[in-house]
Structure 1
Amino acid sequence: MMLPLFAYFCRDWRTLLVAMSVPSILYMPLWWLIPESPRWLLSQGRVEEAEAILRGAAKKNRVTVPEVIFPQTEGEQKQFKKEEFHGFLELLKTSNIRHITLILCLVWFTLNIGYVGLSLNTAKLHGNPYLNCFVSACTEIPAYTATWLSLQYLPRRLCATFSMLLGGIILFFILLVPPGLTPLAISMEMIGKFFMASATSLVYSYTGELYPTGIRNTAVGICSMASRLASSIAPYFIHLGSYDKNLPYIVMGSLTIISGISALFLPESFGLPFRRPWIRCQG
C-alpha cells in the first residue's frame, strides 16, 4: 500500500527502488533479537538450547513450565539425537513425497504467476494507476485475515483448492464483462487478487506442515524458488495482452484452475500430530 505513495513522488524507477529498499536495513538487528526455532534445535540434538528458549518465552508470557521440559529417558535421548543431513534429493526419494513436491512446486509457481501478474496489471486498468495499485494492495488485508481464520478452523487442502478454483473462475468471468462496465471488471479483478493472495499466504503454512523438520526448510526453499521463477516470467504473461487483451486472463485462469485441481491430491495436515503427514507420505 506504501508503494503507490512512494511511486507518486519518485517517478524515476531507480530512485523508487532505492527508496523502497533502504528501509530494509532496519531489519538487520532482528538477527540478534529473534530466537532460533526450538523444534529445529531438537532435531539437531541441542536440547539445552531449545529448553532455554522455551523457558524464556514462558517467562515473558507468565506461564509456569515444568522443572524438566524434555525428560531425558533412554527412548527420548534417541529421539533427540542429532539427525543426519538431508539434501534436496530427499524431496524426490519416494513416489509419494515426490508427487507432493511436484504438486506444491506447480501450486507455488501458478499462485505467484497470478499474484504478481494481477499486481502488475493494475497499471493497465482504467482510471488512476496509483489509486488502482493502492486498492489492489488493500485487498490483501482481508485476504490475509481470511487466511488466518481458515488456518485456525478449516482443512488446508479444502481452503487451498477453494481459493485457487474461485480465483481462476473469476479470471474467466472477467472475459464476459461488457466493455462499458469497467468498474465491474476492475472489481472482479480485485476479487481474483483476493483469492490469489489468500492462497499464496496459506500455502506457506501448508507446505511446512507436509514435511518433517529435517527437510522443511529445504522443501519451502525449493517451492519458493519455483515461485521466484514465476515472478520473473510474470511480466511476459501480462505482455500477452498486447496481442489480445483477454489472453493473460485465459492463461492465468487456466493455470490456476489446473493447480487447484492438483491440490486435491495433496494429503491433509489439519489437526494431525507433528510428523504424521510425513509418515503418510512414506507409507
Structure 2
Amino acid sequence: MDLEEAFQAVGEFGIQQKWMVTVLILLQVYMAFQSMLIVLVGAVPEYHIESSVSPIASEEDLIKHVTFTEDISSIVTEWFLIRHQSYKVSLAGSLFFAGVLVGNVLFGPLSDKIGRKPVFLAGLFFEVLFGYATAFAPSYEVFALSRLLVGMMNGGMALVCFVLTQEYVGKAYWALTGTLTNMTFAVGIALFAVLGYFVRHWRTLATAANSPGVLFLLLSVPLPESPRWLYSQGRIEQAERVLLSLAQRNGRDAALLSLKLASGSAPSQRSAGGVLHLVTHPALRRRTLVLMYVWYACSLVYYGLTLNAGGDTGNRYVTVAMYGLVELPAYPLCIYFINKQWAGRRKTMASFLALAGFSCLFTMLIPVQAGSWFSATSLALLGKLMVSAAFNIVYVYTSELYPTIIRNAGLGVCSMSCRFGGILAPFVPSMKALHHSMPFMVFGLSGISAGGLGLLLPETLSKPIAETLEEMHSPAYQRILEREVHLFEEDLSKHKEIQ
C-alpha cells in the first residue's frame, strides 16, 4: 500500500497523533515568547536629562545626569541605551529576525537531508541554551549576540516543527494542524503580555519566558521521526515501524501494513532532494517564484499594517496582547473556506490577499475621524485580519505544493523571502514624506498583485501529495502539471497582449 492508504489503516489523526501534534502546537507559545521578547525587554521608559549641565561629551557624563521617570526595568535602563545609543534596541530586534532568516535557509535543507527529528531537537536545545544566555548576559554585546543565535534556532526549528505537525497526520488534517499551529502562536503573543505584566524585571522576564522551552524539550524527545520523510528516503522498514507504533497506540489493527514505493521511485533511482531542484525542476521553479512573492507580500502587508494600524498611546501590555488577539478571527475563516471544494486553498488565499489589498487602498479614500466605527483605522485593521488569514493559508498550501523529499527546502526558501518583506516593512511608512497615501498604496498593490499571482498555482485540495520528485511525473501529477503550464502560458499571452 502507499503512504496515504497506510495512514488510513493506522488512523489519520488518532489519539497518539493528537498527543504528538499537541506538544508541537503548544510549543508555539514558547516560540512566540522568544519572538516578542524585545518588545518588553527593550521598552524605553520616559527619562529626563538635567538641562543645567553643560553639553554632555561622554557616555559616563550621560549616565551621571540622566533620570528615568518611569519605573521600568529593561536593557535600556540597565545599559542606558538612549540618545546616540538608542539604535541598539532596534539592532537587537533586527539581529533576532536576521537570525530567523539564516535559520530558515539552513534548517530546511538540513532536515530534508538528515531527518526532521534530529534537526528539530538540536534547534530546540540550543534555543533554550542561548535563551538563558540572553537572560544572564553581562553586557549588551553578549545580549545582542545571544538574540542572533536564538533567532537562528527559532527560525529553523519553527520551520521543522510546522512540517512535523503536517507529516504526522493524514493529509485531510493538514489544514487543521497548520491553522492550530499559527493560531497558538497568536495566543502566545497575548500570553507573553500577561507574563510581562506580572514579571517586570527584564532578566526575570527573559528567564521565565525561556523556561517553558525546557519542558517542551523533554516532551519532544520521545517523538518519532516523520514516517513521510522516512518513506521519501526509501527507508521503508523504519517507516513501517513508526506507523505500526502509531496503529498500536491508536487502537488499530495494522497487521497487514506493508508499504511499497511508487513505481519508478526505488531508492537507487530516487533523486536526492535539495535547493537546486527548486531551480532546475520546471514545475517547482514556477511554484517557487510565485510562492516567494506571495510570502514576501504577506509579510510586508502584515507587519506594515501592524505598524500603521496601532498607535503608541495606552498601556503597552494591552497593546502587545491586542497584537496577537486581533489575528484570532482569521483562523476559523481559514478552516471553513480552504476545505470547501468551491473555494479550496488557491482561491481562498488569493481572495484574502486581494481583500487585504483593497482594504489598504480604500483606507486612502477615508478621512481620519475620531470616534467613528468606520474609519481608516478600522479598514487598516480589517486589512490586517485578511492578510493574517492569507498568511496562515500560505503555510498550509506551500507544504502541500512541495514533495516530501524537498518540502523543508521549499518552505525555507519561501520563508527567507518572507523575512525580507518583514525587514522592509518598517521603512514603508517613511514614504509618507512623498505623499500621505504612499504607504497604503504600496501595501494595497502588493496584496492585490500577490493575490493575482497566487491564482497561477495549482489547487491541492483533495489532490494527491507527492513524496518524491519522481512521483510528480505520475499520470495524476501530469494532469495537474499540464493545467499549471496552461495557466502560466495563458497569463504570459495576456501580458503580451496588454503590452
TM norm structure 2: 0.50
Pair member with larger Rg: 2
Map of 1:49 onto structure 2: 238
Q: Distance in 2 between matches of 1:16 and 1:245?
A: 39
Matched to 1:107, the amino acid is V
Measure how far apart 1:113 and its partner are: 1.0
Map of 2:273 onto structure 1: 86
Map of 2:414 onto structure 1: 223
Map of 1:144 onto structure 2: 331
**Contact preservation (8 Å) 1:111, 1:196:** yes
Q: Distance in 1 between matches of 2:402 and 2:280?
A: 13
Change (3 A) 1:25 1:190: farther
Map of 2:228 onto structure 1: 39
Change (3 A) 1:125 1:258: farther
Matched to 1:168, the amino acid is G
**Contact preservation (8 Å) 2:224, 2:242:** yes
Map of 1:237 onto structure 2: 428
Measure how far apart 1:130 and its partner are: 4.5
Measure how far apart 1:55 and its partner are: 1.8
Change (3 A) 1:49 1:225: same
| Correspondence list, 1:12-27, <5 A | 20-21=209-210, 23-27=212-216
Q: Which deviates the most, 224-233 or 132-141?
A: 132-141
Map of 2:403 onto structure 1: 212
| Correspondence list, 1:247-262, <5 A | 247-262=438-453
CA offsets per residue over residues 20-54 of structure 1, 9 Å max, x none? Answer: 55544443235413322211101111112211221
CA offsets per residue over residues 49-97 of structure 1, 9 Å max, x none? Answer: 2112212222232222242332x5xx76864526332221211214443
Measure how far apart 1:255 and its partner are: 0.7
Q: Distance in 2 between matches of 1:14 and 1:160?
A: 41
SS in 2 for 1:179: coil
Q: Distance in 1 between matches of 2:356 and 2:214?
A: 35
Measure how far apart 1:17 and its partner are: 6.2
Measure how far apart 1:150 and its partner are: 2.6
Measure how far apart 1:162 and its partner are: 0.5
- The alignment of Structure 1 onto Structure 2 pairs a total of residues equal to 280
Show structure 1 runs of 5+ residues with no match. Answer: none
Change (3 A) 1:96 1:50: closer
Matched to 2:461, the amino acid is F
Match of 2:352 among 163, 180, 199: 163
**Contact preservation (8 Å) 1:8, 1:130:** yes
Q: Distance in 2 between matches of 1:177 and 1:113?
A: 22
Q: CA RMSD in A?
A: 3.0
**Contact preservation (8 Å) 1:164, 1:199:** yes
Change (3 A) 1:7 1:206: same
Q: Distance in 2 between matches of 1:46 and 1:263?
A: 35
SS in 1 for 2:234: coil
**Contact preservation (8 Å) 1:123, 1:133:** no
Measure how far apart 1:186 and its partner are: 3.0
Show structure 2 runs of 5+ residues with no match. Answer: 1-189, 467-471, 486-499
How many percent identity over aligned positions?
Answer: 32
| Correspondence list, 1:181-192, <5 A | 181=370, 183-184=373-374, 185-192=376-383
TM norm structure 1: 0.84
Map of 1:269 onto structure 2: 460
CA offsets per residue over residues 190-214 of structure 1, 9 Å max, x none? Answer: 2211111111111111111112122
Q: Distance in 2 between matches of 1:25 and 1:211?
A: 32
Change (3 A) 1:162 1:5: same
CA offsets per residue over residues 98-134 of structure 1, 9 Å max, x none? Answer: 2211110000001011122222334436665644543
SS in 1 for 2:384: helix
Change (3 A) 1:16 1:243: farther
**Contact preservation (8 Å) 1:122, 1:132:** no
**Contact preservation (8 Å) 1:101, 1:219:** yes
| Correspondence list, 1:171-186, <5 A | 171-181=360-370, 183-184=373-374, 185-186=376-377
State yes or no: 1:67 paired with 2:256.
Answer: yes
Measure how far apart 1:248 and its partner are: 2.0
Matched to 1:55, the amino acid is L
**Contact preservation (8 Å) 1:125, 1:186:** no
Matched to 1:58, the amino acid is A
**Contact preservation (8 Å) 1:44, 1:80:** no
Q: Distance in 2 between matches of 1:13 and 1:252?
A: 35
Q: Distance in 1 between matches of 2:383 and 2:440?
A: 10
Matched to 1:171, the amino acid is C
Matched to 2:446, the amino acid is L
Pick 1 or 2: higher relative contact order, CA cutoff 8 A, min separation 6.
Answer: 1
Q: Distance in 2 between matches of 1:189 and 1:125?
A: 16
Measure how far apart 1:243 and its partner are: 5.9
Change (3 A) 1:168 1:272: same
